């Protein structure tokens, strides 16, 4: 039996408080209703669309400039950035990102999103990856939206900057990596 | 002072015995002569061109078929393959692979070459990367040719297949990675 509209809207609101990056498509699947219904629910409750929600989650407006590379060379769309602290990007998995055979996203695209975000977050014009330890937690499918979050954790004994990156589809972690970044001013 | 032709040809031959994947461009740089001179040296000594040398290094003709993905989805050109044992691919670093700012190859392209080779070497139609630990040993520049070698090392306690990949420019290691591969028949 379908949930009442009231109950669904209550649960939808709670879901978005916990996982603000959940897409309308994922919400529709979760609640067993159409995407249009989710959109109407959001409008009735004045919940903004995903892109706006991501911006509002960012603790400050993104007013910093990527130093290490031109912004268009970052894989995915950067939606939040505080240099040498943290960064967030979004990558929509499109046909060119998947294995033709099974529509599963290829690992190097998830890696590219995370790695280029780890480069972008460094406040240095020559930031390069020295080492990385990465986990592919679950398969990512065509059409899913991957949100990557990079956090600068500090420096290791060699002066490399450690950046941890987690990538999510909805509230599910799909990729995690630790990146040791070389910087010219280290 | 330039080396005599005899001495150069002797050293060139020795170089190629140790590092058969060295390109004519690299040889020209090393010996301080033109690429044309290297080609003439090779012809005089009946040393075949790089692509032929790579094939002759392969311990058997490449007569196996990639199982895990269509061959055109492998990043780089596969020049040798023995399923569940080893594979070799070549990637020429072109402008689309480098940071525009400094012409250094972007990490995710080196990763993509190695990772797709680790997928390709698995004798399974659903091979996926579970985890990877990678090192970027030195910067790779525009125009360099990266030769990746994958070796299947066996299985870990969870049944994942361990593939080690080393990538070289000439005889210098530029990238090394260990890949834990999931397979459907594990």
Interface predicted TM-score (ipTM) of this complex, two decimals: 0.71
pLDDT value of position A59 = 47
Q: Does B70 touch chain A (CB under 8 A)?
A: yes
Q: Above 80 in pLDDT, residue A11?
A: yes
- Work out whether strand A127-136 and strand B127-136 pair parallel, antiparallel, or are unpaired: antiparallel
Of A70, A130, A131, the CB nearest to B100: A70
pLDDT digits (tens, 9 = 90+) for A122-156: 999 889 999 999 999 999 999 999 999 999 999 99
- Residue-wise pLDDT tens digits, B29-73: 989 999 999 999 999 998 888 777 766 655 445 556 788 888 778
Residue A67 pLDDT greater than 60, yes or no = yes
Q: Across the beta sheet with A127-136, what order do the strands follow?
A: A77-82, A86-92, A145-155, A161-169, A172-183, A127-136, B127-136, B172-183, B161-169, B145-155, B86-92, B77-82
- Tokens of residue B78, six digits: 């596969």
Phi, psi of A67 (to 5 degrees): -100, -40
Compare CB distances from B135 to A73, A115, A131 and report the shortest one's residue: A131
Per domain, the residue ranges of chain A are: 5-56, 60-183
- The yes-or-no verdict on residue A176 having pLDDT over 50 is yes
Q: Pick from A102, A129, A133: which is nearest to B133 by CB?
A: A133
Q: Does B158 touch chain A (CB under 8 A)?
A: no
Q: How far is CA B43 from CA A165, B13, B37, B50, B52, in A?
A: 51, 12, 10, 12, 13
Domain B59-183 class, CATH top level:
alpha beta
Q: What value, to the nearest 5°, has the Cα angle with vertex B108 and ends A98 and A83? A: 115
Q: Mutation test of the interface with chain A: which of B65, B73, B116, B132, choosing the one with the most A Cβ atoms within 10 A?
A: B132
Reported as a single tens digit per residue, the pLDDT across A16-57 is 887 777 888 888 998 999 999 999 999 999 888 877 776 665
Question: How far apart, in whole angstroms, are the C-alpha atoms of residue B138 and residue B146?
Answer: 12
User: What is the mean pLDDT for each group of 10 consecutive residues in chain B (186 residues)?
Assistant: 85 84 85 92 88 61 70 85 90 93 93 96 91 95 94 92 94 94 82
Ramachandran category for residue B167: left, alpha or beta (phi over 0 → left; psi -120 to 50 → alpha): beta
CATH class of this structure's domain A60-183: alpha beta
Four-CA torsion A66, A68, A69, A75, nearest 10 degrees: -80
Q: Does domain B5-56 have CATH number 1.10.10.10?
A: yes
pLDDT at A60: 47
Q: Which residue of B has its CA nearest to A108?
A: B112
């Amino acid at each position: 039996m379908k949930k009442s509209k009231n109950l669904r809207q209550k649960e939808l609101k709670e879901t978005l408080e916990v996982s603000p990056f959940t897409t309308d498509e994922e919400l529709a699947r979760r609640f067993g209703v159409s995407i249009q219904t989710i959109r109407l629910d959001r409008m009735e409750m004045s919940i903004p669309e995903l892109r706006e929600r991501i911006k509002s989650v960012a603790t400050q407006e993104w007013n910093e400039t990527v130093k290490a590379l031109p912004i268009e060379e970052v894989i995915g769309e950067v939606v939040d950035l505080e240099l040498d602290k943290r960064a967030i990007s979004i990558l929509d998995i499109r046909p060119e990102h998947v294995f033709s055979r099974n529509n599963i996203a290829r690992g190097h695209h998830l890696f590219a999103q995370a790695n280029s975000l780890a480069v972008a977050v460094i406040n240095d014009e020559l930031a390069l990856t020295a080492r990385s330890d990465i986990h592919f937690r679950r398969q990512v499918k065509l059409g899913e939206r991957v949100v990557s979050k990079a956090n600068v954790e500090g420096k290791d004994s060699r002066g490399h900057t450690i950046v941890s990156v987690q990538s999510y589809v909805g509230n599910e972690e799909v990729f995690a990596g630790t990146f040791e970044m070389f910087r010219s001013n280290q």
